A = this chain, B = another copy of it.
Amino acid sequence: MNIVILAAGDFPTRPEPLCALRDADFVVCCDAACKSLLHTGFKIPDYMVVGDGDSLTATDKMLLGDKWVQVDEQDYNDLHKAMTWAISRFGIQDSTFTIIGATGHREDHTLGNISYLATFAEEYPGADIEMLTDYGRLVAMRGERRFASFPRQQVSVFPMAGGASVSSRGLQWPLDGLRLDRWWQATLNNVVADSFELRSDSWLIVFRTYDPKS
């Protein structure tokens, strides 16, 4: 099952996130993100709307009927509520979870949503979870990971915690146990071949562009 989680940031315009939406078997919308979806005319096989309901009217909720799941706790945001619901419904075996619409608008939402990738990866080990934006793809990783790639793909690596050390193979500017204290320190690298590898004992967020650097 291809599960798409649609958050309430910028609705995507690039082919990659839009194709994920078109090919979804099921879409979980974060609260008012459902309005963007219903306005697009995308033919969605099935969907559910999950959130705290802050940005939906009573009429919205009535119209959604049994497509609406209200989760009132306030410790986590709607993206976390939606992912939790999606994983409890579909499990992580044979499912992929693609998050779209999670960036843009307020920068604090963008930062929060991106960092949830590391939280999801910790909470659901082995789950296939990726975020697609209009500019590239984001995943969380720890340990070793090999990424299929292409020459001049831009790669940026962000530490979730200060002092993370990271090593690489296949990048133009090799990371050799570089200790990351600032988010900008391992950004804007270039891939030199058809794959690259990263290694870190701490959680990292890895951003990769869709297009090679011109």
Chain A contact residue count (CB 8 A cutoff): 41
Given the known A-B contacts A160-B182, A161-B163, A162-B160, are A77 and B107 also in contact in the complex, defined by CB atoms under 8 Å?
no
Residue from B107, B115, B154 in contact with A136 in the complex, judged by beta carbons closer than 8 Å: B107
Residues of B within 8 A of A115 (CB): 182-184
Q: Is A156's CB within 8 Å of the partner chain B?
A: yes
Nearest-Cβ distance from residue A129 to partner chain B, whole angstroms: 15
Given the known A-B contacts A112-B156, A162-B160, are A138 and B184 also in contact in the complex, defined by CB atoms under 8 Å?
no
Q: Which parts of A108-144 form the interface with B (CB within 8 Å)?
A: 108-116, 118-119, 133, 135-136, 138
Q: Is A106's CB within 8 Å of the partner chain B?
A: yes
Residue from B76, B111, B187 in contact with A158 in the complex, judged by beta carbons closer than 8 Å: B111
B136 in contact with A187 (CB, 8 Å): no
Nearest-Cβ distance from residue A107 to partner chain B, whole angstroms: 5
CA distance A184 to B123 in the complex (A): 15
A116 in contact with B184 (CB, 8 Å): yes
A110 in contact with B108 (CB, 8 Å): no
Q: Residue on B with the closest CB to A118?
A: B182
Nearest-Cβ distance from residue A105 to partner chain B, whole angstroms: 7
Q: Is A188's CB within 8 Å of the partner chain B?
A: yes
Residues of B within 8 A of A113 (CB): 184
CA distance A114 to B76 in the complex (A): 23
Nearest-Cβ distance from residue A43 to partner chain B, whole angstroms: 29
Residues of B within 8 A of A184 (CB): 76-77, 80, 111-113, 115-116, 119
Beyond known contacts A77-B187, A107-B110: 15 more, CB 8 A cutoff: A77-B184, A77-B188, A105-B135, A106-B135, A106-B136, A108-B154, A111-B183, A111-B207, A112-B188, A115-B183, A159-B162, A160-B183, A161-B162, A162-B162, A162-B202
